[in-house]
Amino acid sequence: MENVVKFENVNKSFNDFQLNDVCFSVKKGYITGFIGPNGSGKTTTIKLIMSLLKRNSGDLKVFGEETVANSKEIKQRIGFVYAENHFYNHLSVKQMKRLVSSFYDNWDESTFQSYMKYFNLPWKKKIKHLSTGMRMKLSLAIALSHDAELIIMDEPTSGLDPVFRREILDILSEIIQDENKTVFFSTHITTDLEQIADYITFIYNGEIIFDDEKDHILEKYHIIRGAKELLDDDIRQMFIHLRETSVGFEALTDNPQKVRNLMGNDIIMEPASLEEIMVYTVRSGQHA
């Protein structure tokens, strides 16, 4: 399978935080969700892809090209939606569009106009008077109007209501109807990904915990509940996270078959949600 983005042992350090030997890839034609708690390195990773930061070491390729040397060409082919408002507040939507569109060789005015209509965006309103949702829509409309092959979004759905979040997910599905297009988006709202994402990359504390097909992940990770008397040292070892209470235990495992073999039918075993996987993995890290 073709990789649109490929990280190999990428390191980047700041005073108080570092990305550690990051390896993962974003596959062409699919939606990859990038999850992790706040402060795990999601935005840093995205900034490296966009050459807004320089890595200290390792190999990073986008469209098969080294990023820093080819950043101009690469950015033409990426539609980028930021988490924060990156527009000029004093400009109107129309003025902002004129400014941004001039950067793109493949700007497609008619596509942009149809998104303006579809999103019900006002041409004359000043950026500072737009709601969060409208600013996100504008950002998305711009990202989708220069024939980008890769759409990257940093927390596009945070701060948005469920109705519009659903709309965004539908738009993402529509984008990859063209199998040459790819979507990579970071979020901590994992339910958005549980539906449409093909791949999930999970980053925590600057390290990639996993990078796999969503269906595989959801088949693998399970939540186990049962009586405390069932726990012994061998069993404890199979749990990523274990929470014991006065009335039983709850645990996360990535080896449900083995747990079932060892513990039999006295336990309740259910597929874990992405949120449970994220939360319990993070907690176990803190306890270690």
- Tell me 273's DSSP state: P
Q: Rounded to an integer, what distance in angstroms lies between the CA atom of residue 192 and that of residue 211?
A: 17
End-to-end Cα separation, the chain, in angstroms: 36
Would you state the structure tokens that stand for residue 223, as one six-digit string?
């939540």
Task: Report the residue number, 113 or 273, with the smaller CB distance to other proteins.
Answer: 273
Q: Give the tokens for residue 241.
A: 């996270």
Q: Which phi and psi angles does 153 have, rounded to 5°?
A: -130, 130
Residue 14 DSSP SS3:
coil
Select 73 or 219, whichever has its Cβ closest to other proteins: 219
Cα torsion angle, 243, 245, 250, 251, sign = positive
Q: Is residue 7 helix, strand or coil?
A: strand
Nearest distance in Å: CB 93, other proteins: 29
Tokens for 245, please give them: 């209470």
* Token reading at 16: 């108080």
- Helix, strand, coil percent content, the chain, rounded in steps of 5: 40, 30, 35
Q: In whole angstroms, how close is the CB of 286 to other proteins at the nearest point? A: 31
In this complex, which beta carbon is closest to other proteins, that of residue 7 or of residue 199? 199
Nearer of residues 29 and 248 to other proteins, judged by Cβ: 29
C-beta of 194: minimal distance to other proteins in Å? 9
| Residue 65 or 149 having the CB closest to other proteins | 149
CB of 179 or CB of 266, closer to other proteins: 179
C-beta of 24 vs 87, nearer to other proteins:
24
Residues that bind other proteins (CB under 8 A): 29-31, 169-170, 173-174, 176-177, 179, 195-199, 213-215, 219
Q: From the CB of 225, what's the least distance to other proteins, in Å?
A: 17
Q: Are strands 57-62 and 65-66 parallel, antiparallel or unpaired?
A: antiparallel
**Cβ-based burial of 214 (10 A; exposed 0-12, middle 13-18, buried ≥19):** buried
Q: How far apart are CA 66 and CA 59, in angstroms?
A: 8
Tell me how far, at minimum, the Cβ of 35 lies from other proteins, in Å: 15
